Amino acid sequence: MKYASQRVAYWYFTCAMVLFGVQILAGVLAGTVYVLPNVLSELLPFNIIRMIHTNALIVWLLMGFFGCAYYLVPEEAERDIESPLLAYIQLGLLMFGALSAVAGYTLGVHEGREFLEQPLWIKVAIVVVALIFLYNVSMTVLKGRRTAVTSVLLLGLWGIALFWLFAFYAPANLSLDKLYWWYIVHLWVEGVWELVMASVLAFLMIKTTGVDREVVEKWLYSIVGLALFSGLLGTGHHYYWIGAPGYWQWVGSVFSALEIAPFFAMVIFAFRMVFKGRKDHPNRAAVLWSLGCTVGAFFGAGVWGFLHTLSFVNYYTHGTQLTAAHGHLAFFGAYVMLNLALITYAMPYLRGKAPYHQGLNILSFWLMTGAMTVMTFALTFAGVIQVHLQRVLGMPYMEVQDQIAPFYWLRLGSGVVVGISAILFLWSVFGPVRERKARPAKVAVQPAE
């Protein structure tokens, strides 16, 4: 750790991991309800469990991004964070708002709009938190060294804040409401979040491979250009069936089909940097999570997104388990693995110890990735059968659910494995570490005189 103020990131990562646990627990509960519908039906209805699952995911990922920024910006800007005190106040407000929202959901206090269920006062608090954060990070960058990594990161973070403002606009017209609703949901995860992802990956590649910064920056600008070019108009694939004009079917199909390009570029970028750079970085787990992030994002957001993004295909697949398969692998590959990569890289420095529990961390990587792959294929097969039975043959929804129940059991089993692998990951980065004792030097045999 080069700068003392980077210590702020430790607490962001800790709080993010707490909410990561909440998200997984709610996900396992939701998966249980799919196969045992009466579980918790009186105490905690399914819609509340799902709300906690999705909201906890979004908040912990954002908290992780904040932690990533507070860790990497000082090293890039070559100075301490503008105000560590403000960073801690921001964290306190964010954590209080997140836990209050979860508590409120269990009591039925929410606004009902998917992903934007937070009460108004929490939405306002999020704006305050964003302003504190943007001031702190922007001033740190403006007063220090400016690099492509910090420029792209700031662009992404400011974009997140600006698009959040559409959460306050909820027109009575449902079509209009959905039109602006996607400005947040889509332009976050398939727009500005990709900029954050690209900049954090670039930082990790510079640090772990030692490849020249200029080479990394050229790749970074290319990826950002592709992401913005395809992602902004790619929003159109959400406008097919909400009452928007018909031309969106062409615009959405063409541009969202191109959204696979930046994710493919990230795969090429990361693997090329690792093969080109040095191979001796001691934190092998961080390198593995970084490479896995690009592959997971490519398949989850790119390939699985492309499978049902064309309008004439989406007509049949919209809102089926294929959407769930795409959503789960895309979020995991692109943003969960990204956060876990930087946490794996940063924690040894934040704790002042050498890279540790590498074997356990790598085991958690393969377990979690394997379980998410099984979950994705289970939901994909369930989705294909659902499309055929429900959308083609016209069978009733609930009868189809009975037919695809075995795939829901597979999803529940893989969700439990994800929970176990998350515990292994947490132990590997937060668990106790034994100091390595220096090996005694071998006594050289003295030649006879």
Q: What is the mean pLDDT of the chain?
A: 91
pLDDT of residue 339: 97
CATH of the domain at 234: 1.20.210.10
- Torsion, Cα 422 423 426 432, to 10 degrees, reads -160
**151-190: pLDDT as tens digits:** 999 999 999 999 999 999 889 999 999 999 998 888 888 8
Residue 445 pLDDT > 80: no
* In-domain check, residue 164: no
Span 339-354, mean pLDDT?
Answer: 93
Residue 194 amino acid letter: E
For 216-231, what is the mean pLDDT?
A: 90
pLDDT of amino acid 449 = 39
pLDDT at 440 > cutoff 90: no
Establish if 228 belongs to a structural domain. Answer: yes
In a domain, 167, yes or no: no
Name the most confidently modeled range: 35-39, 56-60, 118-122: 56-60
Residue 292 inside a domain? The answer is yes
pLDDT tens for 133-160 read 999 999 999 999 999 999 999 999 999 9
- Please state the domain count of the chain: 2
Are residues 256 and 387 both part of a single domain?
A: yes
| Of residues 82, 79, 91, 118, the one with CA closest to residue 10 | 91
What is the domain extent for residue 207? 198-430
- One domain for residues 269 and 345: yes
Is 187 contained in some domain?
Answer: no
Which of 119, 146, 173 corresponds to the end of one domain?
Answer: 146
Task: State how far the Cα of 216 lies from the Cα of 225, in Å rounded to an integer.
Answer: 14
Residue 236 or residue 40, greater confidence: 236
Same domain (yes/no): 202, 139: no
Do 222 and 297 share a domain, yes or no?
yes
Q: Tell me which of 1-10, 23-32, 39-48, 403-412 is least confident.
A: 39-48
User: pTM of the full predicted structure?
Assistant: 0.93
Q: Are residues 284 and 419 in the same domain?
A: yes
In this structure, the answer to whether residues 74 and 222 fall within a common structural domain is no
State whether 206 and 303 are in the same domain.
yes
Residue 396 lies in a domain: yes
Among 114, 146, 178, give the residue marking a domain's end.
146
- Which tens digit of pLDDT belongs to each residue from 248-277? 999 999 999 999 999 999 999 999 999 888
Together in a domain, 229 and 344: yes
Whether residue 244 is found in the same domain as residue 331: yes
Q: What is the reported pLDDT for 435?
A: 63
pLDDT at 170: 87
Domain boundary among 106, 125, 146: 146
**Can you give the pLDDT at residue 325?**
96
pLDDT at residue 448, as a whole number: 44
How many CB atoms are closer than 10 A to CB 86? 16
Q: Would you place residue 300 in the very low, low, confident or very high pLDDT band (cuts 50, 70, 90)?
A: very high
Residues 107 and 219 in one domain: no
What SS3 state is found at 340? Answer: helix
Same structural domain, 109 and 238: no
2 within a domain of the structure (yes/no): yes
Taken as a whole, the chain contains a residue count of 449
Is residue 346, in this structure, part of any structural domain at all?
Answer: yes
Tell me if 326 sits within 8 A of 300, measured CB to CB. Answer: yes
Residues 320, 207 share a domain: yes
